[in-house]
Structure 1
């Protein structure tokens, strides 16, 4: 399976000239992929209580209705013939063949991806003109969808008193009709409007994570608070008698800055925080641990004849530390390993199933085996189906 860029455009050209800069239409970008999820199957997912889904209905240009799942089957029978769309999040977490589609985008760091959302629209169905704060690859899977894009719009210029974010003003500058296999890439902030052209329109949206700076600051601050010992307190610089005892002198500010900067400017701590932050999973994607825990010896023996895979809800990433170690980040947790584990860690994080490299790493490094055992007993690793 391969992503086909327009003629004469290389992967590096895309990253240099389009990624997070401007839209790109890719005709016939995907070949030999079945796109065999039906609208009925998508509706079935939307009826499941643990799956995030919603429905958007347009009654007129300024009148939009938002409904949240899970839905009852009777809801679909009562829908109008036109102007509605169904959206289901995280479909890649539930259907392995859909998750494989992410391999098309291996040139983008894997920890950046959020999910594959799938939408089904009847004729005229859409979610209205809007902007997103993240990059997205809009893959046309079935039917046809008309896409209009405009200039970068202010996210504040929205229609008032609506449950969905609809731009108050939208002036399309380009327009295309996408057929199955076509992809439209959109960077953050580009105004766009997709409208179903027929009653079989299904679009698979590959979205990336783009946390706000405020969200990152909040998370980083909490991480620091969890790390700083309660025994650390402010202490004075060298004091001399001062004319006004109520004055906070510059030496006190310098002392405070030094004490805070020792934590705020700790780059290795920030690396550990960001790895944990970027691999956190959504609250509703709860991973059930196995009923029977396994010991390191049992895991190693089973690895001789079986392979393991990451749980489909889980998120993995790794990095090199500043202390000649590796950091393995899994579902918001940190595991520190020796550099000699790098090949095994890369296979664990990059490949859908572990192989001999991972087995050899566990066989020769007790810390890696203990870590793998912990991951298995948390449910973040599981036996692969053969």
Structure 2
């Protein structure tokens, strides 16, 4: 089997409980499987994350709207109008999931795809947030409910790695090696449908009937198809959107727009489609780009990458009413902590300390720098213990501001 062009081994593997629950030994997984080849594990239990009763609750009681539910039949997506409708009096929407129409679809062999469960189902929300922190990438959660003896989708590949967790019933998986290793997000399988079909007709690299508690890891690009057996099947798919070297290339190209020689215009009348005319200008451009890239500042590249990496994962929820009450009733004995999953960076100058968030920057007096550093360390901190500020009144002002900015939360 092929080796990856880059190794993305998560840090802190010895204390990675979510990853350990998925793969057993995180260090062995990072060395042998991560981005390289599939992993099959047995005898776990994922029903605390989602079970059949939870699926019923989502479909009938949570007021889901599209696109949180998709339905597929014979490999084709069913139009949403066939299973959605108006929300009733006082709900001016037209695309709310109707449980009776979903029942009719399910009864006639359709597969239900519950999407974005890391946004709407608390157990999966919390698990994905923890797993993403351990892996160093965004994690999304979908669930697939397939009636007996049905195949939801034909053989295909994903452009992100996945953990597949079998929750109920049994499903037969056929896995083939990639036809296009390490595909980027825009390199979807439909553009290689003939190669995918030809490979899928051959002997699989892995075939296995997944039972409740089984987990399958597939790196991006590995072909797969799955068919439910004699019972309704429910499995959770965690999509692992790990960064690639091309992510760095894209950031470098964005930054290249700031380099004047690369913004220079080309001569009048130049035909860019003529290789002979293009060649000298291409050579000059490659030289200018190479010289600029060789001097690229990691700080600038990291700042550019934050624009895509940080919004991909939402931090833990903040209850607005309770959060405001915590700010109003704050006292020196109150304990607070950084909001779980919050992505931010801190910079200081002579006059201010700046907390850079995904959508804004919070600036505070420079004297708050040591207190901010401690507050953002991740460990619970008592207000009275904050360093660098002489008065409890100043400490309270700082912490109230950061509670209202949803940077801190009350420590449990």
Do they fold alike, i.e. is TM over 0.5?
yes
Residues 151, 228 of structure 2: 8 Å contact kept? yes
Distance in 2 (alpha carbons) for counterparts of 1:372 and 1:217: 41
Compared with structure 1, are the counterparts of its residues 84 and 275 closer, same or farther at alpha carbon in structure 2 (3 Å cutoff)? same
2:68 is the alignment partner of 1:57: no
CA positional deviation for 1:114: 2.6
Partner of 1:116: 141
- Aligned with residue 330 of structure 2, among 301, 311, 327: 301
CA positional deviation for 1:320: 8.5
Spell out the pairing of 1:73-84 with structure 2 (5 A cutoff): 73-79=99-105, 81=107, 83-84=109-110
CA positional deviation for 1:187: 0.7
Given the two structures, how large is their TM-score scaled by the length of structure 2? 0.62
- Aligned with residue 187 of structure 1, among 201, 219, 229: 219
Secondary structure of 1:133's counterpart equals coil
CA positional deviation for 1:197: 2.2
- Aligned with residue 271 of structure 1, among 277, 302, 305: 302
Distance in 1 (alpha carbons) for counterparts of 2:356 and 2:159: 25
Partner of 1:18: 33
* Cα deviation code 1:71-109 (max 9, x no counterpart): 333321321535421112221222222233347747833
How big is the alpha-carbon RMSD for the aligned residues of Structure 1 and Structure 2?
Answer: 5.2
Spell out the pairing of 1:28-39 with structure 2 (5 A cutoff): 28-30=43-45, 33=48, 35-36=50-51, 37-39=53-55
Secondary structure of 2:207's counterpart equals strand
Compared with structure 1, are the counterparts of its residues 292 and 10 closer, same or farther at alpha carbon in structure 2 (3 Å cutoff)? closer
Secondary structure of 2:156's counterpart equals coil
Partner of 2:240: 208
Distance in 1 (alpha carbons) for counterparts of 2:72 and 2:343: 35
* Cα deviation code 1:226-247 (max 9, x no counterpart): xx699xx98xxxxxxxxxxxxx
CA positional deviation for 1:264: 7.4
Length, aligned pairs only: 338
Partner of 2:171: 145
Residues 138, 205 of structure 1: 8 Å contact kept? yes
Partner of 1:373: 401
2:118 is the alignment partner of 1:92: yes
Partner of 1:158: 193
Residues 120, 203 of structure 1: 8 Å contact kept? yes
Given the two structures, how large is their TM-score scaled by the length of structure 1? 0.65
CA positional deviation for 1:185: 0.6
Compared with structure 1, are the counterparts of its residues 93 and 5 closer, same or farther at alpha carbon in structure 2 (3 Å cutoff)? closer
2:58 is the alignment partner of 1:42: yes
Secondary structure of 1:317's counterpart equals coil
Secondary structure of 2:193's counterpart equals coil
Secondary structure of 1:38's counterpart equals helix
- The runs of 5 or more residues in structure 2 that have no matched partner are 1-16, 85-94, 181-188, 265-279
Compared with structure 1, are the counterparts of its residues 278 and 80 closer, same or farther at alpha carbon in structure 2 (3 Å cutoff)? closer
Compared with structure 1, are the counterparts of its residues 373 and 197 closer, same or farther at alpha carbon in structure 2 (3 Å cutoff)? farther
